[in-house]
A and B are shown apart, each in its own frame.
Chain A
């Protein structure tokens, strides 16, 4: 609330600390990107396994997904930080000791595993939403498994899973703020929290910090919506990116950039009457994260 009275002070402090704040921001961005990449890989692998017809593949995948979804992110983080290194302390001969002591890497792994398990659910759900006739057609054409997944099933599932993955990535960005309690990981929240002590004008700093996170989340959402538009265009649904970014308003979809713009019903079903797709955007995806 002192924002308006103290603003000259405020800018002075921010300028003095801008280096550290930017460094923290960079750490947060790295956590989000690396964690997101790891989560993506885990989500695809576990999602494909959980969606397979063989019980020997599906069973273990389900157990892993439910375990890492059910265990809280913070508990997982603490297990990695405090319990995992003990194995190396007790057995000094084990390899990769440096990796276990790297707290940044552990944070990335915790974020990746936790949100990857959520993402696996989204991947599996979108695989089952691909029309059954598509699976049957690939069998009829006697395509090999990698071939049919890569060329037929995945491109369709990809467009379906992107909205959920967008939500999860924003969740991961928000979850990465917990990294500030990890030693040697000085993320944006950590540097922001450091600002509290030299100043009494905490309100404005924290508020600006929230705004920075908000902008990051908006950028992520925008990026993913571009991917989604591209995926849909490749399936023959919706305009191409060139059409979207063209200044001609006739071909541009209304409000594609807003995170909560109501889904355009024409976008939802393809010309061939494709499956109904979940609403896009950073908004709540019922059941997207549990």
Chain B
């Protein structure tokens, strides 16, 4: 590929404009054998990389997001202001550029680690907003009660505020986990072998992309739609319980 530079993707996925059209015309549009051949490898990449990044990234995002939300509340004003704008900055800049940036700045880090950390931190800035809304929704009376009972700050957060704040945030966190899952193909810019990258690698030698990308899309649909329905149901149940 001529136009893409600097990434390993250039070596794995062809430029569609440089394809031998005669060859394409003679091959079938859909080849079941090829599809069955490609599926296991793609599914392994899905389990080993895509899911790993999603799960670890979500854990980092959920924890770090809570830390950010608490910091915004606890820190003195100027410091909280700095944290808020750093979070805004990370949230409003592209994940793709962040991935490339971190990958080429910290060269000693493995691409998969970079991916997990960048996804985790990027989504932490989203989740911090969810947590913030949750914390804000804790009634003022609860805070006053902890003061009346002369609870320590740590105890107030751990035993009173966070349990109440977390409850309403679960569905939104689930939505962001799904969103992160669908963003994992961005990892191909730092050549992590996640599912779509592997799909491209499988298709490249023969320019057979129909099967691999269709399978990739179906796997994404099959994984994200039921989860989304589940999260939705949870949301309704929680709303009902309130």
Contact = CB atoms under 8 A, between A and B. Distances in A.
A89 B25 contact: yes
A73 B130 contact: no
Given A174-B92, A283-B129, A209 B213 contact: no
Nearest to B26: A90
Contact of B3 (A184, A197, A213, A283): A184
B217 A217 contact: no
B238 to A, nearest CB: 12
A155 interface: no
Interface stretch (A43-51, A130-138, A188-196): A188-196
Contacts of B207: 82
> Secondary structure of the A side of the interface?
helix
A49 to B, nearest CB: 19
Contacts of B5: 193-194, 197
Contacts of A214: 88-89, 92-93
Between B9, B97, B189, B225, the greatest number of chain A beta carbons within 10 A of the residue's beta carbon is seen for: B97
A281 to B, nearest CB: 9
Interface stretch (A11-19, A175-183, A224-232, A237-245): A175-183
Contacts of A90: 24-25, 29
Nearest to B136: A262
B183 A66 contact: no
Interface stretch (B32-40, B142-150, B170-178): B170-178
A254 interface: no
Given A175-B94, A177-B96, A74 B188 contact: yes
Contacts of B176: 284
Interface string B164-206: 0000010110011011001111101100000010011001000
Interface in A244-272: 259-260
A79 B221 CA distance: 14
- Chain B interface size band reads 35 or more
Interface string A182-219: 01101001001110110000110011011001100110
Nearest to A186: B3
- The residue among A82, A170, A174 with the most chain B CB atoms within 10 A of its own CB is A82
Given A66-B225, A72-B185, A202-B105, A178 B89 contact: no
A184 to B, nearest CB: 6
A289 B25 CA distance: 39
B70 to A, nearest CB: 16
Interface string B16-44: 11010100110001000000000000000
Nearest to A207: B101
A86 interface: yes
Contacts of B21: 89
A284 B127 contact: yes
Contacts of A234: none
B95 interface: yes
A174 B185 contact: no
A210 B6 contact: no
Contact of A74 (B133, B175, B186): B186
Given A214-B93, A282-B91, A283-B129, A72 B101 contact: no
A79 B4 contact: no
B119 interface: no
22 contacts: A70-B221, A72-B184, A74-B188, A75-B213, A81-B16, A82-B209, A82-B210, A83-B209, A89-B19, A103-B16, A174-B92, A180-B189, A183-B17, A192-B97, A214-B88, A260-B129, A282-B88, A284-B128, A284-B176, A286-B129, A290-B178, A290-B228
Closest 4 CB pairs of A and B: A284-B129, A74-B185, A286-B172, A177-B94
Given A180-B96, A210-B93, 5 more contacts: A177-B95, A183-B3, A206-B100, A284-B128, A284-B129
